Structures are given as structure tokens and as C-alpha cells.
């Protein structure tokens, strides 16, 4: 790494520390030319695929939008923030590991539905009613039959 003070190309790492949350690494460095010290930070660069909407528009993935969908579906339901965060992490892991540059919004919606089905059946039905654009009571009944457990 080049020294920010004298532009000398040779610097030495004196100390390395990982952040408490593990989100980045802090390195103290010393310049071999001017002997000054400085700090650098290393953070992983993560890119998510673009989301392709039904009308063909492409938008950037936004965790806040995904979180908002979960919050709306699970409003006043006994599901913890930690459980929702874990579900979002699982979705994001799938998006990252698929290695695709674009994902259809319908595919993302199905991922959300799969996670909601595991978390809370009422939240699942709420999300499904909007996501699948229910037209009548029979649509609700069909989804309720889908999630109803025998017995």
C-alpha cells in the first residue's frame, strides 16, 4: 500500500484488529520511507443482483425494502427481530451464492414467501394476499388450506 504522506510504495503492517462485529479489519501501518503511521480499513465488497420487475424495469436490491415487506406481513405477530434478520440473511446468502447479475422480482417474492411460511403462517397469508393479488375469498381459502396442518 502506498503511503498517504510521501507516496512511498512500501508500507509495513504493524498491528491488525478485527472489528467487534466482524464487519471490517483495521490495520495500523508504518511507512518505510518517512516512518509515519496511518490506519487502513478493509471491508468486504458485496454486490447483489439487480431486481427485474414485472414491467421489465431493473432496480437495485435494497435490504430496507425486503425488511419492510417482512415487517408489514408480520405486524403484531409473535416473531422476533432476530428471526426476521436471520430470514433476510438467508435470502441474501441465496442471492449472493447464485452468482446471477439479475433476479426476477417474482423469484425474490417466492424466497420471501418460503421464509415467511417457516416463521409465521398468518404473516405468510398476509404477504401472499398482496403478492399473489388475491381476487376473492377462494384465493384466501386455497392458501389457508396450503398452510393448514392436519389434525
Percentage of the chain lying above the pLDDT 90 cut: 64
Residue tagged 472489528 (cell numbers) = 19
> With bands split at pLDDT 50, 70 and 90, how would you rate the model's confidence at 96?
confident
pLDDT at 149: 59
More confident residue, 71 or 138: 71
pLDDT of residue 135: 73
- pLDDT (mean) for 104-108: 93
Q: Does pTM top 0.85 for this prediction?
A: no
Query: Helix (H, G, I), strand (E, B), or coil: what is residue 58?
Result: strand
The mean pLDDT of 71-96, rounded to a whole number, is 93
Ordered strands of the 11-18 beta sheet = 11-18, 25-31, 37-42
Helix (H, G, I), strand (E, B) or coil at 141: helix
Residue 151 has pLDDT above 70, yes or no: no
Residue 42 parent element (H or E): strand 37-42
Q: Give CA angle at 64 (62, 68), nearest 5°.
A: 125
pLDDT at 21: 72
pLDDT of amino acid 123:
92
pLDDT at 120 over 50: yes
What H or E segment, with its residue span, contains residue 27?
A: strand 25-31
pLDDT at 49 over 50: yes
Which of 132, 131, 130, 128 has the alpha carbon at shortest distance from 147?
128
C-alpha cell of 29? 501501518
Amino acid at each position: 500500500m502506498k503511503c498517504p504522506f510521501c507516496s512511498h510504495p512500501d508500507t509495513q503492517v504493524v498491528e491488525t484488529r478485527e472489528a467487534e462485529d466482524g464487519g471490517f479489519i483495521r490495520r495500523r501501518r508504518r511507512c518505510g520511507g518517512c516512518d509515519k503511521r496511518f490506519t487502513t480499513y478493509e471491508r468486504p465488497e458485496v454486490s447483489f443482483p439487480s431486481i427485474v420487475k414485472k414491467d421489465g424495469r431493473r432496480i437495485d436490491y435494497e435490504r430496507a425494502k425486503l425488511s419492510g415487506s417482512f415487517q408489514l406481513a408480520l405486524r403484531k405477530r409473535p416473531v422476533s427481530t432476530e428471526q426476521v434478520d436471520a430470514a433476510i440473511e438467508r435470502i441474501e446468502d441465496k442471492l449472493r451464492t447464485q452468482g446471477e447479475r439479475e433476479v426476477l422480482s417474482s423469484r425474490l417474492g417466492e424466497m420471501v414467501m418460503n421464509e415467511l411460511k417457516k416463521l409465521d403462517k398468518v404473516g405468510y397469508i398476509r404477504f401472499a394476499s398482496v403478492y399473489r393479488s388475491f381476487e376473492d375469498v377462494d384465493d384466501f381459502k386455497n392458501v389457508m388450506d396450503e398452510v393448514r396442518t392436519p389434525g
